[in-house]
Structure 1
């Protein structure tokens, strides 16, 4: 199944520099800097104001969704968005995901394909690896039944949650 058949693909956009108060606390603004090994985009370095969102309203990505960096050395990094977000133009996001696809399964699938995505983007003949919206949408993957996806996600989530708890404990021990 092609990614474009799974849901709506949105390439992000940064608000115009002419908007003086584009950044604020209204909606998370996802950039490659926010892909720092965490599963969720709950905390981003920057957020947009209402004025900023009005400038890029058509680029709102409805949660739950999955975002993937698609340019440069960060290419293929993946994050799960529980809430609505807007991203910059280096990121492709999949939202409005088909009910036969568990959004978290899609996250884990794309997360494991980072090297493959980077390889595909590097094969474009440019010095900078890039995977445009069209090429990203045409990537094809096989999916097990929704029931199997749910079982797989439950198992992986259990391990990831334990790892995240241990990381918090370790951070507190160091502090």
Structure 2
């Protein structure tokens, strides 16, 4: 099995220019149904969107870049918006974005993170990350095996959260 080494800049396109930072006050005036993503996932729901389709969001800043308590790469699909705390990645013929999501969440990225008080993964550092990729065909096969398991884990985690919330309500 042959793996090739690439810099991230060689296998993805970045759509950071379409991100939009909005204050809590601005978001309050624009409530809606479209997810508004930050570094660690959905932070709000707004009345319009700037992205359509499947994108990989990678945290740009925050303590989680060092602690890895949550995934730093998250999947966004459908119609949504992204703030300036997450990089927006699009795939290419060389790279399955879901495969890249799994890969980035398992990598040690500390060499690419700067900032002593507020960890940051700059656009330049992100694009310089070196990754080893198998053929696109093999990436697709790996994703087709992992994704159903990942979907089940997500569903069970969500169910567990609902059960925990119900327990808190019943205990009150």
Q: TM-score, normalised by structure 2?
A: 0.72
Higher strand share: 2
Count of matched residue positions in the alignment of Structure 1 and Structure 2: 153
CA distance in 1, matches of 2:155, 2:34: 27
| Match among 91, 94, 112 for residue 120 of structure 1 | 112
Gaps of 5+ in 1: 35-43, 54-59
Report the structure number with the largest CA radius of gyration. Answer: 2
Moved over 6 A (4+): none
- TM-aligned CA deviation for residue 83 of structure 1: 2.0
Gaps of 5+ in 2: 1-5, 66-70, 167-172
- 1:92 is matched with 87
Check if 1:104 corresponds to 2:98: yes
- 2:37 is matched with 30
| Pair 112,84 (structure 1): closer, same or farther in 2 beyond 3 Å | farther
| Match among 124, 136, 160 for residue 150 of structure 2 | 160
Secondary structure, aligned partner of 1:129: coil
CA distance in 2, matches of 1:172, 1:165: 11
Secondary structure, aligned partner of 2:131: coil
CA RMSD of superposed structures (Å): 2.8
1:43-82 equivalences under 5 Å are: 44-50=42-48, 60-75=50-65, 77-82=72-77
